[in-house]
Amino acid sequence: MVTGHLGYIGTVLAPLLQDAGHDVVGLDIDLYRECTFGTEPKRIPELRKDIRDVSADDLAGFDAVLHLAALSNDPLGNLNPELTYEINYRASVRLAESARAAGVKRFVFSSSCSTYGAGGDDLLDETAAFNPVTPYGRSKVLVEQELAKLANDKFSPVFLRNATAYGVSPRLRFDLVLNNLVAWAMCTGRVLIKSDGTPWRPVVHIEDISAAFLAMLQAPQEKIHNRAFNIGRQEENYRIRDLAQIVKEVVPNCSIEYAADGGPDKRCYRVDFSRVGREVPEFKPKWTARAGAQELYETYRQVGLKVEDFEGPRYMRIDHIRALLASGKLDATLRLQGPLEAAITQG
């Protein structure tokens, strides 16, 4: 089971798992059904259900749960921090408890390098102290800590601390740094940096994140049991200004510009990715930021992307949520108003 299979990463991950020979079922409420970028996501058997309502009966018969469903970024988390903890933290813990009760053997949690938060210039491995600076980052820390307590010889949680994602998806996100920089550059001729450009940020393509999930399913239990893995590549740690320079070199006729209200960003971390290479050699990341910027630029050109698309409710997660709230399609607890399919359906 893949929770969040209709989100930014899930729409890339689910088909990859199917291609590798796995029987895959998704679980999602399809909150961003009106935000499809390009072609519609590939449909798979799915359970339309809020992650807060999942029971052990829903998970019976599954060998593994790959848990991605969440309020997916800092602006959304800041919209209502208490809801972030309810959805990202408490619902995730209940999901893991239900999975263990249902006999699920492996639980792969999509965590984040944002757990390191204000990490400074040091190279941080998985033993580094947590220092999250946002509700989103704190929620990931809390889930890791609680899931670790559930581990036993029949239930293996594993925590993927993904670097900042980028790359093309049917549910593309424009609030991610490389995706956003390329969009500004192509649409305006300006690589717009919204901070002072100094923070460190490791980046990783969503196809490589997906490959990491697949590798965790195939790895021997003793290699992954109750362990965290930073997901990315050592050489893909960049300062924001360095990412901007890459974009400037990829997108023709553009210049780098700093936003007038841009200042220091507390989120700053350099990450050591050597553990996953040693312990799970099946994971072989392929992408670089430069290749990703080229992919994004070419895709944006093909669809004729405009500023009002990626800076407005069509694709910007937080603006889309606010529009759903204003229209009454979403209530104050971020539950969709209207019936959800209650059974697994073949799309």
Q: What angle do helix axes 289-303 and 177-188 make, rounded to 10 degrees? A: 50
Nearest-10 Cα torsion for 211, 212, 213, 215: 90
What's the CA gap between 145 and 127, in Å, rounded? 13
The number of folded domains in the chain is: 1
Give the burial class of 277: count Cβ atoms within 10 A of its Cβ; 0-12 exposed, 13-18 middle, 19 or more buried.
middle
On whether residue 255 sits in a domain, the answer given is no
CA 201 to chain CA centroid, nearest Å: 15
Q: Which of 28, 110, 35 has its CA nearest to residue 66?
A: 110
What's the CA gap between 258 and 261, in Å, rounded? 8
For residue 16, what pLDDT is reported? 98
HSE of 325, CA atoms in CB hemisphere, 13 A: 13
CATH number at residue 162: 3.40.50.720
Nearest-10 Cα torsion for 298, 303, 309, 311: 0
For residue 345, what pLDDT is reported? 45
Could you list the residue range(s) of the whole structural domain that residue 138 is in? 2-173+203-235+269-287+318-327
What's the CA gap between 211 and 333, in Å, rounded? 33
- φ/ψ (deg, to 5) at 33: -65, -25
On whether residue 132 sits in a domain, the answer given is yes
On whether residue 10 sits in a domain, the answer given is yes
On whether residue 124 sits in a domain, the answer given is yes
On whether residue 167 sits in a domain, the answer given is yes
For residue 15, what pLDDT is reported? 97
Question: What pTM was computed for the model?
Answer: 0.95
Do 155 and 100 touch, CB atoms closer than 8 A?
A: yes
CA distances from 65 to 158, 283, 318 (A): 11, 19, 27
For residue 259, what pLDDT is reported? 87
3 state DSSP class of 89 = helix
Q: Which of 48, 75, 40, 290 has its CA nearest to residue 169?
A: 40
On whether residue 16 sits in a domain, the answer given is yes
Mean pLDDT, 10 residues at a time, the chain of 347 residues: 98 98 97 92 95 98 97 71 92 98 98 94 96 92 98 98 98 94 97 92 98 97 98 97 98 94 84 97 97 98 94 87 91 82 41
On whether residue 333 sits in a domain, the answer given is no
What is the identity of the amino acid at 345?
T
On whether residue 297 sits in a domain, the answer given is no
What's the CA gap between 145 and 109, in Å, rounded? 12
Residue 244 is classified by DSSP as H
The two three-digit tokens of residue 231, written as one number = 């997901």
Q: In what order do the strands lie in the sheet with 64-67?
A: 46-47, 26-27, 2-3, 64-67, 106-112, 156-162, 227-231
